[in-house]
Amino acid sequence: MDRFSQEIVDEIVHHVEDARDIAKLSVTCKSFQETGYNVRSMHVKVLNEDHEWARNLVDMSSPNSGLESRNLKDTVVNIIAKKHCIKQLCIEVEPRLQSKEVPENEGQRTDFWMSDPYFVRKWLPRAGATLQHLCIVDYGKQAIMRRSSVLKIISENCKLVKTLDLRNMYIDTSDCGVMTSMVSMTLRCVKVTVGTLDDMNTIMPNLQTLALLGVFGVEKGNLKFKNMKVLCLGLSTPAENVLMDLPSLEKLELKMQCPQDLRIVAPQLKYFAFNMKVPEESKVQVCCGDTTKVHATKDLPGGLLELLYGASSFGTFALRLERNRSNCKTLYVDIPCMALKEDGTFFTVSKDVSLNLPCFENLHNFEHP
């Protein structure tokens, strides 16, 4: 390896992201070891084998065991502590472990809780100065029931972070610092505190992309981002009221439990996916460029280029279509006619599918999806 130039060694190491592979590479020669300290991107995977090892230990209190305890969190801290200029970091509990059947007392443990504030404070201050992209996929069986201040810790230590992806955890958004560099945020399968939507406006004022997928706990709130262009809103519990005032928004997906009162102000909206059941008692409004003029659900903005309609009722579909017919190029119609099992597999054909479909003669100007 001594015959390789430092540029070649750097190029080889920087193409390796898995933390285990970086560790193996670092023991082959001094050049790889030194370059390993300066990797820019790293993926720390928590494997099912790690969990099996931790759960199948012999009684460590026995003086005859002859084994030393291996703490997963300490291992992760040691790995990250040796990296000097990491810009992209992912700590992920692998899907195989997430889906594995475990005893009921698993939820009482915290050894695989990756959003544990005490644990995060051990490694994040060391990496935060250079970190720009962070993803933490937690172990849901331990994390979802324990409130974490992980977002507050990130806001205090990662002033350069641009993208953040947090999954399978319970997030407290109170008392967070302002993250002016943040442009993209994803929350997937998380529980949040009541005021999360309002808190986000202050914490991430320059957000451009926001995806809330399978988010529990939102009761009400406003989203007011002047620079946001893409929003995917997937609230798993019905909120009382949600207001969205997004003057730059171009892409919007609503796939969620419908709030009792939903108002959308998005004059630049071009791509709209409307996929939710609207109860009779709920009120859904969409505002055009003139925000003083409020339209009911049937009157979407007239500048749409692409529309996906997947609601369970087609009563107002024809009117929506008529308003956007001159501009809309592509139309998707998703008829919810299947009932699924809890694991997502097919169960049966739904019996309550609405037959009040619109006149499809009006669709001839649209492209075939």
What is the residue-averaged pLDDT of the chain?
Answer: 80
Residue 316: is its pLDDT beyond 70?
no
- Is the pLDDT assigned to residue 72 strictly greater than 80? yes
Share of the chain above pLDDT 90, in %: 43
Sequence ranges of the domains in the chain: 242-369
Mean of pLDDT values over 110-119: 96
pLDDT at 342: 59
Which of residues 358 and 216 earns the better pLDDT score? 216
Instruction: From 324, 331, 319, select the one nearest 364 (Cα to Cα).
Output: 331
- Per-residue HEC secondary structure of the chain comes to CCCCCHHHHHHHHHCCCEHHHHHHHHCCCHHHHHHHCCCCEEEEEECHHHHHHHHCCCCCCCCCCCCCCCCHHHHHHHHHHCCCCCCEEEEEECHHHHHCCCCHHHHHCCCCCCCCHHHHHHHHHHHCCCCCEEEEECCHHHHCCCEECHHHHHHHHCCCCCEEEEECCEECCCCCCCCCCCCEEEEEEEEECCCHHHHHHHHCCCCCEEEEEEEECCCEEEEECCCCCEEEEEECCCCCEEEEECCCCCEEEECCCCCCEEEEECCCCCEEEECCCCCCCCEEEEECCCCCCEEECCCCCCCCCEEEECCCCCCCHHHHHHHHCCCCCEEEECCCCEEECCCCCEEEECCCCCCCCCCHHHHCCCECC
> What integer is the mean pLDDT of 83-101?
92
CA atoms within 13 A on the CB side of 146: 20
Question: What mean pLDDT comes out for the span 54-71?
Answer: 52
Intra-chain end-to-end CA distance of the chain, in Å: 53
| Chain segment 198-251, per-residue pLDDT in tens | 999 999 999 999 999 999 999 899 999 999 999 999 998 888 999 999 999 999
pLDDT of residue 63: 41
CA distance 42 to 40: 7
Confidence of residue 295 (pLDDT cuts 50, 70, 90): very low
Q: What is the structure's pLDDT at 333?
A: 72
Quick one: pLDDT at residue 246? 94
pLDDT above 70 for 193: yes
Q: How sure is the predictor about 311, in pLDDT bands with cuts at 50, 70 and 90?
A: low
Q: What is the pTM of this model?
A: 0.83
